[in-house]
Amino acid sequence: MTHASTNPQRLIQTLIEIDAPVVISIYVPLERTWNRNNMFQKELRGLLEQAEIECERFTHASADITPMLEQAAGEITAARAADPDADGIVIILTPSEMIVESLPFTPPLHAAVDTVPDLRYIWPNVYPDRPYYVAALSAGGVGLFRGTRYSIQRVDLGPDAYQTLDEFRQFDQPVRSVRYHTGTPAQGQGGGGRRPAMFFGHEDAGDRAYKNEGILQFLRYIDNQIRKRIDPDVPLRPLLLAGPDRLRGLYRAVNQYPRLHDTEIEGEYTEGTNRAWDTQALHASAWPLIQTDLLREREEAMDRFRGAAERGSTSLSPILSGAVSGRVDTLFISAAAPPVWGNIGEDGVPHLRVDRRRGDGDLLNAALIHTLRTGGVAYAYEDGVPAFAERRQQPRIAARFRY
């Protein structure tokens, strides 16, 4: 069965725990024109046939996997109908199970046979990623959204929460209405007189201050509601402000959330007269800001690697041994480098080979899997790993050890 997977991180948590005598990983792009193209269908059939041949070379057990490959072909055909918004599909086959998930990115057409799922080629599409929040402000109200690299969803502030200024003022006696009010005493009338009602477009400094105080009270209330809705039991996620400059400034003045992002998003993200939020545009503006932070963290991690040579390595054997034993804190890996064939002995020692033998897998991918299993962080590069700024040819892998 195909399931939409707008959260690749959740999928990865499932895949890294798979360990079987044989694991077939199949990645297929679901671009519409490709799927209707005879050449693509021919390439897909060739890919599945190659997977079957590789499986036989790997384990002598292709007969058990053939029906599953045939079923996988049917799943690929049905994937577009099941999730028309998907850009790709991953199928993981083992002798005992099949996992089929749609992907929010376009993977390469790729198949691999190993004892673990092949994640290295798609890792740049998966990480870095991190949940974040957006407080969207507009004249029509406030919305809280939770986003990731590929998705954004609205967060309910609560069934009884006020989400517009008008709703809030219905129960706020000190500042009942911004549309008109009778405010401070008129000049020359002492404390007993009342100033005539003031309307938008006909307000003095006192009325603007009165209006701002009403908005500030509402934004203090919203800030409190947002802090209640963001889970305090996980690392605090960044909160971005989106909206007109004036509203963002007022919100920042009352904010008490400790991870309010320094960079803000200009503009109102509402659609038409019904004040529906344009979540697609909001996500397109928010994610690049978070991505910039994450790429900066990757460069900072690389700087720490370069600055602690005694705790780092660019050699696959010690890195893989360290990953298996849980010593790798941060892994840097090339997603495009050719596989390095070999296996890990029962004693935990890696055995690297020039040519693939029966039972061998890609040890670069194995280093990635074991790093993730033991709580390490892994960064991928499309080409070589820039471990040494002065070298033209960069290594395919590097790691910083915990100890």
* Residue 153 sits in the same domain as residue 44: no
Q: Which pLDDT score is estimated for 346?
A: 84
CB atoms within 10 A of CB 238: 19
Single-letter residue type at 285: S
* Residue 316 sits in the same domain as residue 231: no
Could you list the beta-strand ranges (E) of 123-204.
132-138, 141-147, 152-155
| Close Cβ partners of 369 (under 8 Å, ≥ 6 residues apart) | 16, 116, 117, 119
Last residue of a domain, one of 118, 147, 168: 118
* Residue 89 sits in the same domain as residue 155: no
Considering only CA atoms, which of 280, 255, 222 is closest in space to residue 85?
Answer: 280
Structure pTM?
0.83
What confidence tens digit (pLDDT) does each residue in 155-186 have? 998 888 887 777 777 765 454 444 444 444 44
* Residue 143 sits in the same domain as residue 235: yes
* Residue 49 sits in the same domain as residue 180: no
The answer as to whether 203 is a domain residue is yes
Q: End-to-end alpha-carbon separation of the chain, Å?
A: 43
Last residue of a domain, one of 294, 321, 337: 294
The answer as to whether 152 is a domain residue is yes
The answer as to whether 138 is a domain residue is yes
Q: Which pLDDT score is estimated for 199?
A: 34
What confidence tens digit (pLDDT) does each residue in 359-369 have? 899 999 999 99
Q: Which residues are registered as beta bridge partners of 401?
A: 328
* Residue 204 sits in the same domain as residue 343: no
Give phi and psi for 343, each to the nearest 5: -150, 175
Q: How far apart are CA 359 and CA 351, in angstroms?
A: 12
The answer as to whether 179 is a domain residue is yes
Q: Which pLDDT score is estimated for 21?
A: 87
* Residue 200 sits in the same domain as residue 347: no
Token digits of residue 382? 């499309």
Q: Which pLDDT score is estimated for 387?
A: 87
The answer as to whether 302 is a domain residue is no
Give phi and psi for 153, each to the nearest 5: -135, 150
Residue 343 has pLDDT above 90, yes or no: yes
Domain limits for position 225 = 132-294
CB 400 within 8 A of CB 301: yes
The answer as to whether 331 is a domain residue is yes
The answer as to whether 124 is a domain residue is no
Looking up residue 248, the CATH number of its domain turns out to be: 3.30.420.60
Looking up residue 7, the CATH number of its domain turns out to be: 3.30.960.10
CB 223 within 8 A of CB 251: yes
* Residue 250 sits in the same domain as residue 389: no
Looking up residue 323, the CATH number of its domain turns out to be: 3.30.1330.30
* Residue 318 sits in the same domain as residue 282: no
Structurally, how many domains does the chain consist of?
Answer: 3
* Residue 213 sits in the same domain as residue 68: no
Least confident of 52-66, 170-184, 242-256, 343-357: 170-184
* Residue 237 sits in the same domain as residue 385: no
Please give the average per-residue pLDDT across 180-199, as a whole number: 43
Last residue of a domain, one of 61, 95, 118: 118
Q: Which pLDDT score is estimated for 341?
A: 96
- What 8-state DSSP symbol labels residue 51? H
The highest-confidence range among 60-69, 175-184, 223-232, by mean pLDDT, is 223-232
The answer as to whether 371 is a domain residue is yes
Q: Which pLDDT score is estimated for 60?
A: 58
